[in-house]
A and B are shown apart, each in its own frame.
Chain A
């Protein structure tokens, strides 16, 4: 599904990501962890085209996508959420999801001005699909609420619904359970499993909460100082001495 080979990027002397190799297989929930500043979010930004890597290749379903503009990568089937929630705050919950249908719809200004049958059909379909997704993340009751007025946990869910509205094959979640209490993160974990099992999406997630990562992920990649530190199944990673050292320090 996703394949990173020797991906590097530096910002003014800081090697943020250094020759990282990573694979995400079809249908799995993969985890990306590491201490603060390890370059996890930078990897997300590289995959989604916000940055172009200095070197290396990123392949999505066999096609090189490094350096493509973000909207093209979204079109190809990669969607994401953001660590610091970036909803369209003043728009309603429903509208937020409808906005993300953009790359799966076609009609332009002229179709809207003349209200062509195709345009009407598409608007209807956009609305229907958006409501369906709100139903899926359990936000249908809040559809008319301004996104910025939602409580924090529900904003995270809305971001997931919005990302799903772009019809991705690969969903990148940047700390989906950050700042949540145990019940909330349990329910987000349930949602992420349903995304894989019911919607058949592949998921790559970043999180600091080890319960979430260990409980959800089929495979985990560990970064430290921009470098690949470890890679494997949760139990392998948990007992890896390098990982323990990076997180806890050496005795």
Chain B
């Protein structure tokens, strides 16, 4: 039993589990504006802002990690708000391109600024897991325990719990928002922006709102990412990252928030599961994505599936029903 636990709880597995939570947050940061019909590809840029801000605050200003991460998220949200203003008039692919360009700007800035240490990136970022495990080492008897329960594993498990608590909180807030007056306004904008305006929805306000929320989520994920990995560099937040984030939403199913979570989990795990195919790994990954889009264009988890799985009473569901499958 202890051997089995030791196998399951190895640092590599725990790392993947934590990465899933981070990627879920990133997926949500794309899903939120998309739920109001806004396709933003600036996520990697906001993640980068959050990561660098948090890392620099904890490394150089000596802030405590949770505070630094929160500051990174708020900073990214603020920049998202500022970026939202001039891009409000853009729609569809134009918005996508403008936000993508923003992401590239952030990357190039990180590549050239002294404070971000250019292409070398920031190394030696304080690690949350290390901190917790030192604390456990000093203050509990775990340090002398045998088997799987060494301080580092326990600290990792605590971090896993904490990350999923944060993710759960984000999901809870977004679900509450979706089934409220605000969520209805967002769906109205997504369905028909002109009609939404005519029905009294201040579309500018809500676009800024989803943009800011998106920046916050991506910045939060970035800050956490920086404090789970020893190192961040400009290359971590490039074009690939932006596309990956979009893939979580599209492949997972963008009709509901749950699809994004499934997509992020699946696309984070998949490359790891494909490691056996060695040098064919990325080819296999790509082929699977193509097959998925061919045979399940609505994504892994469609709204219809969610409805079938949902146990809420019909009447209640009708009041707040998300858009259903096969939408015209």
Interface residues of A (CB under 8 A from B): 48, 50, 69-71, 74-75, 79-80, 82, 86-92, 94-95, 98-105, 107-109, 111-113, 115, 119, 122-123, 126-127, 143-144, 146, 148, 162-163, 165-166
Contacts and interface: CB of A to CB of B under 8 A. Distances in A.
Given A71-B203, A98-B184, A123-B180, A88 B320 contact: no
Interface of B: 172-173, 176-177, 179-185, 187-188, 191-192, 194-204, 209, 314, 318-321, 323-324, 327-328
Nearest to A89: B328
The 10 closest A-B pairs by CB, nearest first: A103-B200, A112-B180, A90-B323, A74-B200, A88-B191, A90-B327, A86-B195, A70-B197, A144-B318, A100-B199
Name B's interface SS. helix
A1 to B, nearest CB: 19
B318 to A, nearest CB: 4
B131 to A, nearest CB: 30
Contact of B194 (A50, A103, A144, A148): A50
A157 B318 CA distance: 20
A166 B180 contact: no
Nearest to B172: A113
Contacts of A119: 180
B194 A92 contact: no
Contact of A69 (B191, B197, B320, B328): B197
Contacts of B201: 71, 99, 102-103
Contacts of A91: 187-188, 191, 321, 323
A143 B321 CA distance: 11
B240 to A, nearest CB: 32
B328 A71 contact: no
A162 B328 CA distance: 20
B316 to A, nearest CB: 11
A92 B318 contact: yes
B198 A50 contact: yes
A115 B195 contact: no
Given A104-B200, A123-B181, 18 more contacts: A69-B202, A75-B200, A79-B198, A87-B191, A89-B327, A90-B187, A90-B323, A95-B184, A99-B184, A99-B188, A101-B181, A102-B199, A103-B201, A105-B181, A108-B182, A109-B173, A144-B321, A165-B199
Contacts of B200: 71, 74-75, 100, 102-104, 166
Contact of B185 (A92, A99, A148): A99
A243 B176 CA distance: 56
A71 B201 CA distance: 6
A205 B320 CA distance: 32
A115 B176 CA distance: 8
Contacts of B187: 88, 90-91, 95, 99
A158 to B, nearest CB: 12
A144 B319 CA distance: 8
B182 A109 contact: yes
Given A91-B187, A95-B320, A102-B185, A166 B199 contact: yes
Contacts of A70: 197-198
B103 to A, nearest CB: 26
A137 to B, nearest CB: 16
A174 to B, nearest CB: 11
Nearest to A85: B195
B88 to A, nearest CB: 12
A99 B209 CA distance: 18
A109 B177 contact: yes
A74 to B, nearest CB: 4
B251 to A, nearest CB: 20
B324 to A, nearest CB: 6
Contacts of B183: 112
